[in-house]
Amino acid sequence: MAGVEREARDETTAALFALASQIAADELRPRAGAAEQEGRFPREVFATLGKAGLLSLPYPQELGGGGQPYEIYLQVVEELATAWLAIGLGVSVHTLTCFPIATAGTSQQQDRWLPGMLGGDQLGAYCLSEPDSGSDAAGLATRAVPDGDEFVINGVKAWTTHGGQADFYTVFARTSGEPGGPGRAQGISCFHVPAGTAGVSAAPPEHKMGVRSSATAQVRFEAARVSSRQLIGEPGRGFPIALAALDAGRLGIAACATGVAQAALDCAVGYARQRVQFGRPVIDFEGLQFMLADMATAVAAARALYLAAARRKDAGLPYGQQAAMAKLLASDTAMRVSTDAVQVLGGYGYVEDFPAERLMREAKMLQIVEGTNQIQRMVIGRQLARSA
């Protein structure tokens, strides 16, 4: 498979794309199927990515990052996700977890933690959702109570990607107000919590429909003590940080979804070219060829939309609505294209000998994470109502 031809702006980005596709071909693609079946978290692959500098691409070089615009970083995420979603997703989630300190942390906090977080050795996890607070994130109940120069955190976080595997957790907890009370969003604060902190533990990983090699787990905070120096941003100003991080994170999910859709398209086209029925390759039958044409068009549209949103972000323009659109379109595309890929392969699409069924299971997750697609529509629709 020749792979997606990307628009590199110069030799450096061309070399970066070549590096990502080499790692995808050599380290990711050969292992993805087996690791998904075993449900084994591939920590060593993240070590390889970290050494190669692919875990810190969009952060400034002064902070230890790669200094790349989102337009470039996201194409690397797509490339990795095309080969193995759990890895592309992991890179996107890790990038999300670094967002609060990189954008709202003090220079002391950045100096102290970012070299490790962006250095490639560490992996982060993002703790916002709770068992009873998902789409309604402002209703979170985990509490951080001040005690002298410390905060004591109690609560349970749900659906945490890298839960139990991460080296640090970016945690949103309530420092004032009630989950159902007035001004509840103004009572949320953001904390940097190393995984080794006493009182922090992870439940066994969830048994998911797909993306099983990525660990998803509840994370428990039982009288976990953190220093007030680990508070990111002002107390009570955590929720805007969480939402800003999610705007950026959604672009990562859109890139991942485009990757899954591309993988499903590659699988379907490859099969349709070599599968012979009635004396000719099935791709020569218009019924299938038109289906593949629609799939290819949808993948190109998803890619174009996330890149358009990324260019707005890179230019410093508001991009929340566009990021929501990109996440919505790309993940719905991944679902439809992977479902159609199973159809193109017929019986072979429904069994584990081909990746089509796995990609279909993986696509479903992307319509749910970092804001369900109903929440994306809410974000887009509210903007319409406001600007009307």
Partner 1 sequence: MNIVVLVKQVPDTWSERRLRADDSTLDRDAADAVINELDDYAIEEGLRLQEAHGGEVTIVSMGPQKAADAIRKALSMGADKAVHVTDEALRGSDGLVTSAVLASVLGRTGFDLVILGSESTDARMGTLAAMLAERLGVPQMSFASKVETDGSKITIHRQADYGYDTVEGALPAVVSVVEKINEPRYPSFKGIMAAKKKPVETLSLADLGMDASQAGLAASATQVVSFANRPPRAAGTIVTDEGDGGAKAAEFLASRKFI
CB of 57 or CB of 375, closer to partner 1: 57
Backbone angles phi, psi at 177, to 5 degrees: 75, 175
User: Residue 226: beta bridge partners?
Assistant: 151
CB of 49 or CB of 211, closer to partner 1: 49
CB of 54 or CB of 269, closer to partner 1: 54
User: Residue 275: beta bridge partners?
Assistant: none
CB of 17 or CB of 159, closer to partner 1: 17
Number of H helices, E strands in the chain: 12, 10
- For 345-349, the CB contacts below 8 A with 24+ separation are 345/267, 345/268, 345/271, 348/271
CB of 73 or CB of 191, closer to partner 1: 73
- Whole-number minimum distance, CB 12 to partner 1, in Å? 6
Task: Name the catalytic one among 36, 78, 362, 370.
Answer: 370
- Whole-number minimum distance, CB 60 to partner 1, in Å? 13
Could you give the C-alpha distances from 330 to 254, 268, 300, 317, 352, in angstroms and in order? 5, 18, 10, 21, 24
Q: Is 370 a catalytic residue?
A: yes
User: Does 297 engage in binding with partner 1 (CB under 8 A)?
Assistant: no
- Whole-number minimum distance, CB 73 to partner 1, in Å? 10
Collapsing DSSP to helix, strand or coil, 374 comes out as helix
Q: In whole angstroms, what is the distance from residue 1 CA to residue 28 CA? A: 15
DSSP H or E run through 281: strand 280-281
- Whole-number minimum distance, CB 281 to partner 1, in Å? 20
Applying CB under 8 A, what is the total number of residues that bind partner 1?
Answer: 14
Binding window for partner 1 (CB under 8 A); candidates: 8-16, 190-198, 276-284, 338-346: 8-16
Q: In whole angstroms, what is the distance from residue 150 CA to residue 152 CA? A: 7
Site string for partner 1, 9-48 (x = CB under 8 A): --xx--xx--x--xx------------------------x
CB of 67 or CB of 281, closer to partner 1: 67
- Whole-number minimum distance, CB 177 to partner 1, in Å? 42
- Whole-number minimum distance, CB 202 to partner 1, in Å? 30
- By CB under 8 A, the residues from 41 to 100 that bind partner 1 are 48, 51-54, 57, 66
- By CB under 8 A, the residues from 171 to 200 that bind partner 1 are none
Could you give the C-alpha distances from 169 to 132, 180, 197, 274, 307, in angstroms and in order? 20, 25, 10, 47, 29
DSSP H or E run through 247: helix 238-274
Q: Exposed/middle/buried for 377, CB within 10 Å: 0-12, 13-18, 19+?
A: middle
Radius of gyration for the chain, computed over Cα atoms and rounded to the nearest angstrom: 21
Residues marked active site are found at: 370
Residues in touch with partner 1 (CB under 8 A)? 11-12, 15-16, 19, 22-23, 48, 51-54, 57, 66
